[in-house]
A and B are shown apart, each in its own frame.
Chain A
Amino acid sequence: MWKYVLKRIGYAVITLFVLVTLTFFTMQLLPGDPFTGEKKVPEEVLQSIKAKYGLDKPVFEQYVMYMGNCLHGDLGDSMVTRRPVTTLLLGSFSVSFDLGMRALLFAFIGGVLLGIVAAVKRGTPWDTVTMIVALVGVSVPSFIVASVLQLFLGLQLPRATGIKLFPVTGWDGFASTVLPTFAMGFGSLATISRLMRTSMLDVLGSDYIKTARAKGISNKRIIWKHAVRNAVMPVVTVLGPITAGILTGGFVVENIFAIPGMGKYFVQSVQQTDYFLISGTTILYGGLLIVCNLAVDLVYGFIDPRVKLGKEEA
């Protein structure tokens, strides 16, 4: 078990290292530098600014310095607002995290439930409807879901009926979180429900379920106590990539709903080519996802005893 945990942590650290290196050198490759502007700056001033940001040193030295700073949690200053990136991001991080967790929970619980319903009522209209919903979810990108929700529930519904259920944009109170959560989580919900259905069908056909039925255990108990526990395993393994999908989906959804989260900063920083903000957001996002992946791997190791055994034998 410890070997497995250490191996996973090792991978996470290497991945993070690669990500930071990649980001740093990408920033080096970007054309021009942040101080090429329309105004003509005297040479001495330019030199002193460059010295302030350490841009006059050789690339490798800058790299070492950047690495060191990252380890301290210092991601540099924003070039546009001149404020430290870390402070800028921490405020928005909580918002993004809140929204991301809501979307993840919605997708996981909703997806698992839909999958169970579809598998248990296999071949009935329940199954068909659920799977059509799932297919729509897989096929419609999150930004389209977001725009369409905004259009119909945010704009047309109040116009037509006079009832204002959900605000179109903003981040204020529960009602404003519903639409973004749905937009971000719907695609993943669909993926999870499809996966859950297949895995549930597999489990329901296995011998130990037949044994349980033969023993006369009620259907409800078989499904919830015996089948779901095993069927949910494959879903847990894909939670890592799904979290990544949900959080990167946040880039656009936050923008569409004008939510003051990290995604909004990311898109903004890309559009304004604010180098340190881009690299900071990238590293924070990437780091977060790597940690999520690690957490999923570890959780999986704990809940599925077969993983432990397999690794120790190897």
Chain B
Amino acid sequence: MEKIEKSRFQWVGPNAEESEGIARPSITFWRDSMGRLMKNKVAVVCGIIIILLILLSIFAPIFSPFEGREQHLMHGNAPMFTRCDQTGHMHLFGTDTLGRDIFTRLWEGGRVSMFIAFAAVFCNLIIGVLYGGISGYFGGAVDNIMMRIVEIINGIPYLIIVILLMMILPPGVITIVVAYATTGWTGMARLVRGQIISLKEQEFVVAAKALGAGVPRLILRHLLPNSLSVVIVNLTLSIPNAIFTEAFLSYIGLGVQVPLSSWGMLAQAGSAAMRTYPSQLIVPAVCICLTMFSFNLLGDGLRDAFDPRLRR
């Protein structure tokens, strides 16, 4: 048997730099999720559609040659792509019964609808996260009482509460937001509570507590950021709900009041003229559906992207 001389071996020793080095650049949870979202073509397209709709709502009324309130009674109910007699500008989507330019009104309505949706969802976020956070963190009797209250609010159909509120408060945009926010936060509260309960026993929270972090800091800095992904998905999915509620209320005449326009109001006006001028209904209807559709798909995409089980 051949003997291997000792001199042929060499002590390499631990290389501190190499063993501490990281093979791949570390990817944070957020960057990983965003990367996965970007690969989901459907969600990306929906995100682009949403951004386009928002941009159109902001800028289309500014650049449109017509005013939303401007009436041309002689020129009412014009079909799509007709030119205005006096100025020669194009009415892209035609005019309504009072001769107002539907294209301009559509995007002015879009501003109102989007504003209501975002504001309402923002209110839900604040109330729901705080309520759920407190309830989940303290647990026990506090949790019990707080969740019973949620259960009772949930038991009453929210549209009924919203309609009742709309009757006491003066009609207007803010009222819709308030009415929606009074009932809409329960879903968020439940969700956040569940997350907090599952997180609060974990080591990093215990460590923070041992280091002397106070309750507000624990909830706001440690527990909530870790439940953020669930919250974002829920937010995205509740925007279509808010848009629907606004459209619904405006449609039955309790929502936005004239001379403001919103997509729900336009749809309502359009359905009155449906027999003779169907395009007046179809245009706002398409906008409502497109927005809800995109937000739903984007929400689905986000949920998939945030799901740790799908992480490679």
Contact = CB atoms under 8 A, between A and B. Distances in A.
A138 B252 contact: no
A286 B157 contact: yes
B152 A251 contact: no
B240 to A, nearest CB: 7
Given A30-B168, A135-B297, A270-B167, 10 more contacts: A19-B156, A19-B160, A135-B296, A139-B292, A139-B293, A141-B292, A147-B281, A271-B253, A286-B160, A290-B156
Interface stretch (B17-25, B200-208, B226-234, B271-279): B271-279
A23 B151 CA distance: 18
A26 B252 contact: no
User: Sorted from nearest, which 10 A-B pairs have the closest CB atoms?
Assistant: A15-B155, A139-B293, A139-B292, A248-B159, A244-B157, A147-B271, A144-B285, A29-B168, A26-B164, A140-B289
A29 B22 CA distance: 66
Nearest to A141: B244
Contacts, number: 107
Contacts of B293: 135-136, 139
Interface of B: 151-152, 155-157, 159-161, 163-165, 167-168, 240, 244, 247-248, 251-254, 267, 270-271, 274-275, 278, 281-282, 285, 288-289, 292-293, 296-297
A11 B285 contact: no
A15 B240 CA distance: 27
B171 to A, nearest CB: 12
A159 to B, nearest CB: 10
Given A141-B248, A251-B252, A273 B167 contact: yes
A18 B155 CA distance: 10
A66 interface: no
A252 B252 contact: yes
Given A12-B155, A139-B240, A267 B252 contact: yes
Interface in A3-43: 11-12, 14-15, 18-19, 22-23, 26, 29-30
A71 B273 CA distance: 45
Contact of B267 (A11, A143, A255): A143
Contacts of B278: 151
Contacts of B248: 141, 143, 252
Nearest to A31: B168
Contacts of B296: 135, 138-139
A256 to B, nearest CB: 7
Interface string A250-292: 0110011000000000110011010000100010011001100
